Every structure is written in structure tokens, then in C-alpha cells.
Amino acid sequence: MTIRIGVMSFAHTHAIGYLSALQAMDGVEVRGSDPDGVSIGPSVGELRGRDLAEALGVAYADTHDELLAWRPDAVVVTSENARHRELVELAAAAGAHVLCEKPLATTWEDGLAIRDAVERAGVLLMVAFPVRFSSAFAKLRAAHDAGALGQLFAIRGTNNGMLPRTRDWFTDPALSGGGAIVDHVVHIADMLEGLMGAAPGTVTAVANRTLHAGRARAETAGLVTITYDNGVIAAIDCSWSKADTSAVWGGLTLDVAGTGGTVSLDFFGPAARGFAAETGLPIEARYGADLDEAMLATFVDAVRTGVQPQPDVRVGLRTLSIVLAAQESVRTGQTVAVDSVTPTPGPDDVSAAVPPSA
């Protein structure tokens, strides 16, 4: 059965990889729409709108309404973070399942509105957290579930990358919701959710704009410490600290300590490294499974079967709650209780019992 998938907005650089991966999938017809996109250069990473679609050989709709009139079975939302609610609500109202780029939203109000929109429409929503689809993470979960690590007590994660250069909205808090904390904390928070299913209790965070001080309008480095209701303390190092001349965009690591032992993972470590003869700058070719492809395959399968995939909207809300608490901690200089930044209008809110992620 062929299914139709639309990509709404090419604002996020991940749209490039998603369009290419979907285009290559058997039984998938893909079409994009990026009405506000303006190309800033000739390279693929600088293209937007119809220019990018034509470069990738993907069908294009001039407006989101035109895209939804095509009656897609599902859409991928890769807009600026602050526009996720708007586009998810449009897609849900049209009856399309949704894969939403992380973070789910930039405010708690918008996150709850997204949850309500998909539940009201009866469509599936999955949040784009590709790292949890790595084989290394699957092995970590299996070891933890089998009791091989004993009782967990501390976790350290790092997610460091380049300052986004072809999408300057990343450093505009009005569109991104913040800086490195918003961009990088959620990936590790999602893995901790998938690993433990524990509820975050308090968050203590510090941040600065020392790196890229003349280019960024939001924090470019931060350290976020989270306490969980199972006793685990997690520290997340998030920054846009990779140099513009770095051989790779960034990386993500996780160290998990338990009474039975410690596991250290480098999710993007496998690579062939060297130096360019022309410039002397480092070059690096990473290898291994494409995590975006694995995530998209899970989403496509969910669209076909109607079975809710993970991470779902409640995971998106839980990871958002950590970001909002971290931002409040940076603002006040105090440790912040997560439930103090997540007002609960009803018993279905994420602050109620949330089962561990599948």
C-alpha cells in the first residue's frame, strides 16, 4: 500500500534528510511545502522552498493548504520550533498523522494544545528523537531491563554541536524558544525517558553566551542537572561549542552508572578520520546505520498499522517540561520543581502518571 507523506516547512535542516529518506522509501509518496522559505545560497543546506524540493527531486506544493488538499496520510513538521503548534493543528484537523520535530513546542500552553489537537482528531503523533533508534541505545535498554546495571544512580550526557549557520532562527528565541538548552537537552532527556520511564522532579541549570557572543541571541552553552523520582541524578552538557571548521556538526554521548557497573556510549563515534590535503583541516566520515531512516521507518509503519509509536506526545511534553524548568532555573538562579512550570488543567495532563515508554 502506498502512503502519502507531506513535509510541512523546510525551516529545520533535518527537513533535507527527511525528504531524501522518505523519497527513497518503497511505498511512500512524498511532497513538500515551504511557503515562507527563502534560499540564501547555492548549496543544498542553503536552499529553501521550491529550490530545495527541485534539488532533491521531490514534488512541491506552494502552500500548506495545497499540501493538505493532496490528502496526505501523514505529515512531518519541520518548521521553526514556535510554529509547531500551528502546523500540527492544521495537519490534525485534516486527519493526518504527525511526526513533529523536537522540541514538541516552546511553551507549555502550546504543548498541551498540540496534545489536545491530535487526541481530538484521533491521529497519531510521534516526536522526532532519532537517537533512541540506535542499536547502542537498544543494547543499553536491554542491559538495564535485565538488571545488569543494578540500581542506577547517576547519568551524564553531552550533546555538543556547531552554531547553526544556514538557519539563523535557531538563535532567535522568538522562533526557537531559546538556544542550546532547547536544541540539545531534549535529545538526552528523551533517552532517559526511554531508559527509565521515571518522572523528573527538580532541575538546576546554568548557561552563558560566551561562545559566539556576537552571533547568537540566546544561550550557547549550558549545564542542566535533573533529579528523578527513582533517585537518579542526571547532568546534561549542552552547547554549540564545535568550531565552524569542525569536521562534523557535533556529537552525543551518554555515561550511565549503576550499582552493577557503568556504561559509556558515543552514539556518533564510529568514523574514519584524517586531514584535507588542500587545507590541512580535519575531515571525518561517519559510518553506521542512519538513525533518521530508522526513526522514519518506525513512523511509516505506525501510519500503516495505526499503532501509536514511541516517543509519543506525552514524552514530548515531559522533555519540554525539563527545558522549561531549566530556563526558569537559569533566569532565577534557583533549583526549580518541574511541576511548578507545568500547570495542569486536568487529570490527563503529563504531570499525572505516565507509563514508561515502549
Mean pLDDT of 92-106: 98
pLDDT at 334 over 60: yes
pLDDT band for 249, please (50, 70, 90 cuts): confident
Across 220-229, average pLDDT? 97
Three-state secondary-structure class, residue 138 = helix
- Mean predicted lDDT score pLDDT of the chain: 91
| Cα–Cα distance for residue pair 132/357, rounded to 1 Å | 11
**Residue 221 buriedness (CB in 10 A; 0-12 / 13-18 / 19+):** buried
- Closest by CA position to 172, among listed 290, 272, 103, 80: 80
pLDDT higher than threshold 90 for residue 165: no
Contacts of 252 (CB under 8 A, 6+ apart): 131, 157, 158, 159, 187, 188, 266, 267, 268
In this predicted structure, what is the pLDDT of residue 321?
A: 98
Name residue, grid cell 547568537.
Answer: 216
216 — pLDDT class (breaks 50, 70, 90): confident
Distance CA 6, CA 294 (A): 18
- Ranking 69-73, 92-96, 271-275 by mean pLDDT, the lowest is 271-275
Mean pLDDT confidence for 210-221: 90
| Span 236-258, average pLDDT | 87
The stretch 294-307 carries a mean pLDDT of 97
Please determine, for residue 351, whether its predicted confidence score (pLDDT) is greater than 50. no
Local structure of 213: helix, strand or coil: coil
Q: Is the pLDDT of residue 347 over 50?
A: no
pLDDT reading at 352 higher than 60? no
- Torsion region of 99: left, alpha or beta (phi above 0 gives left; psi -120 to 50 gives alpha): beta
Which SS3 state, helix, strand or coil, does residue 95 take? coil
Q: What is the pTM of this model?
A: 0.91
Give the per-residue SS3 of 103-134. Answer: CCCCCHHHHHHHHHHHHHHCCCEEEECHHHHC
Q: Is the per-residue pLDDT at 282 higher than 90?
A: no
Mean pLDDT on 91-112:
98
Q: Confidence band (pLDDT; 50, 70, 90) for 357?
A: very low
